[in-house]
Structure 1
Amino acid sequence: MVTTTAPRSSRWISSARNRTQPMLRAVWTGLVGLVLAAAASCAEAQNLPDVAATSRFSGWTAAVIAADWRTSGGEPIQAFDNARRDLTAGFVDAGFDRAAFYDATLRPDVPDPVSARKALADVADLAQASTRGCLLYFTSHGSPEALVFGPDAELSPTAMATLVRGLCPSRPTIVIVSACYSGIFLDGLAGPDRMIMTAARRDRNSFGCGEGARYPYFDGCVIESLPDARDFIVLAQMTKACVGRREAEEGLSPASEPQIRIGANMQLLLPTLRFTRRGAGEKPGS
C-alpha cells in the first residue's frame, strides 16, 4: 500500500523509458527547438526600454508547472496540482505579477489538457514580454537520470540547462526543482545570475507524493515558509529546515537534504528582492 510518506521516485520510470524512448527523443527535440527559437525573440525584447518598476518583481516572468499527477505506483493524485495552485497564490501574494505568472498541470486526464510543448510555448511568450528576471518552479517525479515532464517527455540535466538558457538568457533566474534526485540539475543550472533550489540531493529521494498527501513535503514547506520569509535566501533556508524537521519527526531515512546554490551576482541581488505582502501596508518597491 502506498502511504503519504512514499518516496517520490517513480518505480515505473525505467520500464516506461524503455518503451517510449524514441517518442521521448522526438518530443524533446521539438521542445528544445521551440525554446531556442524563442530565445532570439527574448534577446530582442531585452533591448526594449525599461518600464518603471512597481514592485521588486515587476517585469519578472514566473511559472509553476506540475509535471506529474501520479503516485510512485502510478495511481492519480492531487498533491502536485494542489502544490501548483497554492505555490502560485503564495508567490503572487509575495509580490509577483499574476499577469506575468504562468501555472499549468501536464496531467492528461483533465478537460482541455496542456501538453509539455504548449506549456513551454506559453512560458516562452511571457518571457519575451517580461525580461527583468525569471522564476521557474517544477514539481514532479524524478529518477537519477531525469525529471518526468508530462506523459510523454522527460527533462535530463542537459535538457533542463538548455531549456532554462533559452527561456531566460542573461537575466536573474531562480529555478526550483521539486522531485526525487533533483540535485542532478544543480551543476548544469548553476551560474553567477542563478539561484537553484532542489528538493533532494542527487542521490536521495524526497517524500510526500502518496495517496492522501496534500502536497509533496518540499512543496508544502515552501508554501508554509513563504508568508514569513523576507526573500528567496531566507525562503530556501526555512524550507530546508522545515523538510528536515518533518522527515525527522516521521523517522524518514535517508533524509532528502534539499540543496541550495546561489551564484555570485545573485548573492548580492537577492537580499534586495524582498517579498512585498499584499495588504501589509508596505508600498510596492519600498
Structure 2
Amino acid sequence: MTRGLSRLVVLLAGLWLGTAPAAQAGSFSDWAAIVVAGDWRAHNGGPTETFDNARRDVAQALERVGFQRDNLRQFSVRPERYRDSRPAKSDLEAIYASMSDLTARTSGGCLLYVTSHGDPSGVLVDERVLPPRVLGTMVDRTCGERPTVVVISACFSGVFVPALAAPNRMVLTAARRDRSSFGCGEADKYPYFDDCFLQSAPRARDFAGLGRAVQACVADREQKEGMKPPSEPQLWVGPALRPLLPLYAFAPTPAAPARTLSTGP
C-alpha cells in the first residue's frame, strides 16, 4: 500500500467514525471509561483481593496513559472496603446507567474493562452472570459507533468476541471461549491476565500493541508456571478501528510503582 493510499484509508476511517480530530490529537481525555471488579472470591470460594487490586490499578494505568479521572468510574462488589478509590457497587443496572451518563457527556471513544470469574455463559458481576448478548446490547446503546475498547478478564471470556465484534471495536479477552484463565487464588495479587495488562501498558504505544503484548506475556507466564492448557487470550480489532488505533497513542508514562496488597480501609 502506498503512503498516500494509507493516509486516505486513515482519513476515511476517521470520517466514518466521526472522530478524526480526537484521534489525531492522540488523546483519551474525552473518552468514557468503566472498570469493574465483578467478584471478591477466589476459585476455591475463599476471599481474595485479586479483582479489586486489578480494578484499582487498571484504572490508575488508564489515567497514566491519558484517560481523565472525571470520565472514569470504578465498580466493586464490596465498595465500602475501598475508600481510597471510592468505587460504586458492582450492579448491572448501575453500570449501564454510568455508561449512559458518561457517553452522554463525552464525545470521544469508550472503554469497558471487567475482571471477574467467568463460565461459558458469561462473566460474573456480583451474584449475576452478564451474558455476551446483554453486554453487546449495553455497548451498542451507549457507545454506538464511537471507537470502543472492551477488555474481559475472566475464564472462557472468548465467548464475548462474537457478540461484541463490530467495525469500530477492539475486543481483548483473557481466554478462548473454551479455556480457563489463571491467577485468582486467595494469595494472588492479580489474575495473570490483569498482571500482564499492567506490566505491558507502560511500554505499549497504543491499544493494539498493548493487546499483542498482553497475549505474549500471558503465554510466557503460563509456560513458566506450568499452567495447562494455555488460556490463549483473544484479540479482535474491527476493520474501521484498525487504522485509527495507532493515532490514539498513549501518553508517555514511567512504569507504575509497586503496589501493596489492599485489604480494605
The equivalent of 1:39 in structure 2 is: none
* CA 1:192–1:113: 2 relative to 1, 3 Å: closer
The equivalent of 1:130 in structure 2 is: 106
Counterparts of 1:209 and 1:97 in 2: how far apart (Å)?
29
C-alpha contact 2:222 2:230 (8 A) present in aligned 1: yes
Unpaired stretches in structure 2, ≥5 consecutive residues:
1-16, 256-265
TM-score, normalization by structure 1: 0.76
Deviation at 1:107, TM superposition (A): 3.2
Deviation at 1:130, TM superposition (A): 1.1
Aligned mate of 1:156, from 131, 150, 170: 131
Sequence identity percentage: 44
The equivalent of 1:118 in structure 2 is: 94
Instruction: Give per-residue Cα distances to partners, 1:98-143, cap 9 Å, x unaligned.
Output: 1111112123774896141223322321111113110110111000
SS of alignment partner, residue 264 of structure 1? coil
Unpaired stretches in structure 1, ≥5 consecutive residues:
1-45, 281-286
- The answer to whether the aligner puts 1:264 opposite 2:239 as a matched pair is yes
C-alpha contact 1:186 1:196 (8 A) present in aligned 2: yes
C-alpha contact 1:147 1:179 (8 A) present in aligned 2: yes
Equivalent residues in 2 for 1:1-286 (5 A)? Answer: 56-107=27-78, 110=81, 114-116=89-91, 117-151=93-127, 153-277=128-252
One-letter amino acid of the counterpart of residue 64, structure 1: V
C-alpha contact 2:148 2:170 (8 A) present in aligned 1: yes
Counterparts of 2:96 and 2:45 in 1: how far apart (Å)?
24
C-alpha contact 1:107 1:150 (8 A) present in aligned 2: no
Counterparts of 1:221 and 1:125 in 2: how far apart (Å)?
30
TM-score, normalization by structure 2: 0.82
Instruction: Give per-residue Cα distances to partners, 1:68-110, cap 9 Å, x unaligned.
Output: 1111222121000000111011111011111111112123774
SS of alignment partner, residue 113 of structure 2? strand
Counterparts of 1:161 and 1:274 in 2: how far apart (Å)?
26
* CA 1:155–1:279: 2 relative to 1, 3 Å: closer
Counterparts of 2:189 and 2:26 in 1: how far apart (Å)?
31
Counterparts of 1:259 and 1:115 in 2: how far apart (Å)?
25
Which runs of structure 1 show a deviation greater than 3 angstroms over 4 or more consecutive aligned residues? 107-113
C-alpha contact 1:67 1:107 (8 A) present in aligned 2: no
Query: How many aligned residue pairs are there?
Result: 232
Counterparts of 1:237 and 1:244 in 2: how far apart (Å)?
11
